[in-house]
Amino acid sequence: MTIDAGVDQAAFEVVNPTADRLDSAETSLAPRLDTLNGKVLGLLSNSKPNAEIALQAVAEKIKETYPDLKVRLYPGSIRFEPGLLRRAIEESDALVGATADCGACTSWLIHDGAQAEKAGVPQVTIVARGFERDTDTSAKVFGVPGLQYVVVPRVFTALTPEQATEQTLPVADDIIRALTQAPAAAPTDTAGQKDAEERQETYTFRGQDPVEAVEAFNEFYLQTDFGDGLPLHPPTRAKVEAIIEAQGRPRDELILTVPPLHGHGTLERIAVNAAMAGCRPEELPVVIAALKAIHACPPPMNLSVLMSTGAFAPVILVNGPLVKKLGINSGRSPLGPGLNNRVNIRIGRAVALTLRNLGAWIPGRMDLDTIGTVRKNIQVFGENEDESPWEPYQVGNGLRPDDSTVTVVHTVGEWDLGSNHGPADRRIRSIAARTPTLTQVGFMTSTLAGLEGNEDGLFYLLPPETARKFADAGLSKDAVRRFLLHNIRPRIWDVVAPFIDFRERGLVRPEWEWMFQLTPEEQRTQTIQAFNDPAAINIAVAGHGTPKEFVFGTMTTPITVKIAALA
């Protein structure tokens, strides 16, 4: 294709940054049932508001056609407990799940439905309009591209119980068909073949002068959704080849499949996106390591954090000799703009563009974030190891001080904690007191609602001045972590508020019932420890100057990956 911007006085050719192949598993659906009479229909409620109401209403409607149908409700959580899911699959002849009306809950619910189909139990998922693409992509990633679902008009969380019932009853017949009739061949394969046929490898742009040609390139790439909204560096063949050649690896080597769409991330495809970000060849190993860390996030969380309607975004910490060698800023304002952060910005932008063009991490497509966040312009920073009194972050994770590494954590928010210029004991108490806790962070989801794992937590960035103050007082990094573990204490009033409806539906563990039994005054005056495991608290030393501490809320356990040296 040639884009003609005027008289051919300046022209250049650029490479397509998108995936030329998607990673797709092909697992057949479970056999459909001849009838639902005498069968057990399991209802998988993922705890979203109105999910249980909608499921029970549509089950009663289905029983009008199949009066001998037995119905069992399995109330779980957005991250369905594995034991409960296994029991539902073992005890049911068919399953109906609800609700898929946000990015994270959709990917988790489709993950659960895929497990049922692989176990030989037919299922159908209730999906809100607008989340069809999310559903199709999740089904493909989890190995059941033909997974069955029905669509209702609106997200359940925006409705009253009566409205939720009203919009769900009309899909009862569709659910019956999905469970009792073999579906037609899924159209997604044909569409995928068509996309592959229409994809072209290069584009040529012309202009009356180089500036006009570059402007034409940028406008086309933005309109085609290849860009991030800022001016792009043209990924000419020469630039891409220079990046590839420096790696000493085959251009068609498959480095990873890039979530959430799992496009094939060959060395060449990643190099194209790095060239668009302005990366130098020696920076590509950091980009690749960061992508590997993102890819290593276990499913279905790897999709949830990228496809959620929540404002989640990966943040990248770099450790080791490459921080200095590449000029990654670890000192003053390492999360900021400007000259000192140009390498940080290039690497973060390359990671984001790769997720966009190889993983379709694009707002409204695979990224269903409601509000968004500037953290999706992915932030990269180095640890200030020279001024830190403690061992580097990667050493605490079993690696050597001379290992260059990236650590990726998916964040849910960030807070400047201010500063406290008093002694160490006063300062550490101030940090604990000023640390926010949210419904997405801490025991509020990982314990109170019966979920397992330490995904939720906090990642602190302490300036060297604060770290030295603690070290001089005899506090190791682990001692600081344990103090914060025991002294981040939200009010019980604030903890139970988001979980009142959970309790009403029997989703709160019995051992936490005592908190709901307290009087309002007791709930306002009593606090409780926000985390159970020191692994939920992570600390790195970064920045320089006034001791102003900073913290990210985290949605995943940090993942550290060694950076491969150039050949």
- β-bridge mates for residue 409, sequence order: 315
Max mean pLDDT range (161-165, 258-262, 421-425): 161-165
Average pLDDT over residues 499-514: 79
Do residue 247 and residue 312 come from a single domain?
no
Measuring CA to CA, which residue among 288, 158, 210 is closest to residue 564?
288
Do residue 140 and residue 232 come from a single domain?
no
Place of tokens 């309607």: 309
Q: Taking the chain, what is the end-to-end CA distance rounded to the nearest angstrom?
A: 35
d(CA 391, CA 478): 11
pLDDT at res. 531: 83
The pLDDT tens digits for 244-283 are 999 999 999 999 999 888 899 999 999 999 999 999 999 9
Per-residue pLDDT band at 191 (split at 50, 70, 90): very low
Do residue 213 and residue 312 come from a single domain?
no
Residue 30 lies in a domain: no
Do residue 231 and residue 301 come from a single domain?
no
Residue 502 lies in a domain: no
Please state, for a pLDDT cut of 70, what percent of the chain lies above it: 91
Please state, for a pLDDT cut of 90, what percent of the chain lies above it: 65
Instruction: Compute the 3-state secondary structure of the chain and give helix, strand, coil in percent, each to the nearest 5.
Output: 40, 20, 40
* Cβ neighbour number for residue 513 with a 10 Å cutoff: 10
The pLDDT tens digits for 296-341 are 988 767 777 887 878 889 999 999 999 999 999 999 999 999 999 9
pLDDT at res. 189: 40
C-beta of residue 97 within 8 angstroms of C-beta of residue 123: yes
7 is in which domain, residue-wise?
2-19+206-276
Do residue 391 and residue 344 come from a single domain?
yes
Measuring CA to CA, which residue among 539, 515, 274 is closest to residue 383?
539
Per-residue pLDDT band at 192 (split at 50, 70, 90): very low
Place of tokens 């040296």: 565
* Domain end position, chosen among 189, 216, 236: 189
Per-residue pLDDT band at 504 (split at 50, 70, 90): confident
Do residue 428 and residue 310 come from a single domain?
yes
3-state secondary structure of 44: strand
CATH of the domain at 155: 3.40.50.10350
Average pLDDT over residues 287-298: 94
- β-bridge mates for residue 361, sequence order: none
d(CA 197, CA 247): 30
d(CA 497, CA 519): 13
Residue 294 lies in a domain: yes
Residue 442 predicted with pLDDT over 60: no
pLDDT at res. 187: 46
Element (H, E) at 419: strand 405-419
* Cβ neighbour number for residue 26 with a 10 Å cutoff: 10
Do residue 431 and residue 449 come from a single domain?
yes
Residue 451 predicted with pLDDT over 70: no
C-beta of residue 289 within 8 angstroms of C-beta of residue 309: no
Residue 197 lies in a domain: no
Which residues in 440-476 are b (16+ Cβ under 10 Å) and which e? bbbbbbbbbbbbeebbbbbbbbbbbbbbbbbbeeebe
3-state secondary structure of 50: coil
C-beta of residue 496 within 8 angstroms of C-beta of residue 504: no
Query: Which two structure tokens, joined as six digits, stand for 455?
Result: 């995904």
Residue 513 predicted with pLDDT over 80: yes
pLDDT at res. 59: 96
Residue 454 predicted with pLDDT over 60: no
Asked, as a colleague might, if the bond just before 300 is cis with ω within 30 of 0, I would say: yes
| Residue 25 φ/ψ, nearest 5 degrees | -85, 150
> For the whole prediction, is pTM greater than 0.75?
yes
The pLDDT tens digits for 526-551 are 998 888 788 889 999 999 988 899 99
* Domain end position, chosen among 141, 161, 189: 189
CA 170 to chain centre: 33
Residue 382 lies in a domain: yes
pLDDT at res. 349: 98
Max mean pLDDT range (5-14, 74-83, 142-151, 478-487): 478-487
pLDDT at res. 25: 60
The pLDDT tens digits for 70-84 are 999 998 777 677 788
pLDDT at res. 452: 53
Residue 267 lies in a domain: yes
Do residue 249 and residue 120 come from a single domain?
no
Do residue 272 and residue 286 come from a single domain?
no
Average pLDDT over residues 106-119: 89
pLDDT at res. 156: 87
Residue 567 predicted with pLDDT over 70: no
∠ CA(485), CA(486), CA(487), 5° rounding?
100
pLDDT at res. 140: 81
pLDDT at res. 80: 72
Mean pLDDT of all residues in the chain? 88
More confident residue, 328 or 142: 328
Query: Which two structure tokens, joined as six digits, stand for 374?
Result: 């500037």
**Which residues lie closer than 8 Å to 560 by C-beta, 6 or more apart?**
293, 393, 394, 397, 399, 405, 406, 407
pLDDT at res. 437: 79
d(CA 423, CA 58): 62
**Which residues lie closer than 8 Å to 55 by C-beta, 6 or more apart?**
43, 44, 45, 73, 96, 98, 126
pLDDT at res. 438: 67
C-beta of residue 567 within 8 angstroms of C-beta of residue 511: no
Per this entry, what is the length of the chain? 567
Residue 471 predicted with pLDDT over 90: yes
Domain tally, the chain:
3
Residue 190 predicted with pLDDT over 50: no
Do residue 131 and residue 237 come from a single domain?
no
* Domain end position, chosen among 252, 276, 300: 276
Alpha carbon distances (Å) from 132 to 226, 230, 280, 357, 364: 22, 29, 39, 20, 11
Query: Which two structure tokens, joined as six digits, stand for 160?
Result: 């009253």
pLDDT at res. 439: 52
Average pLDDT over residues 382-387: 97
Report DSSP state, residue 451. -
The pLDDT tens digits for 2-56 are 445 445 689 999 999 999 887 766 788 999 999 999 999 999 988 788 889 999 9
Place of tokens 């592959």: 196
The pLDDT tens digits for 202-226 are 999 999 999 999 999 999 999 999 9
Q: What is the maximum alpha-carbon separation in the chain?
A: 79
Alpha carbon distances (Å) from 403 to 31, 287, 393, 562: 51, 16, 11, 7
* Cβ neighbour number for residue 148 with a 10 Å cutoff: 23
Asked, as a colleague might, if the bond just before 231 is cis with ω within 30 of 0, I would say: no
Residue 515 lies in a domain: no
Query: Which two structure tokens, joined as six digits, stand for 328?
Result: 């990654």
Do residue 419 and residue 546 come from a single domain?
yes
3-state secondary structure of 316: strand
3-state secondary structure of 319: strand
Residue 504 lies in a domain: no
Do residue 270 and residue 314 come from a single domain?
no
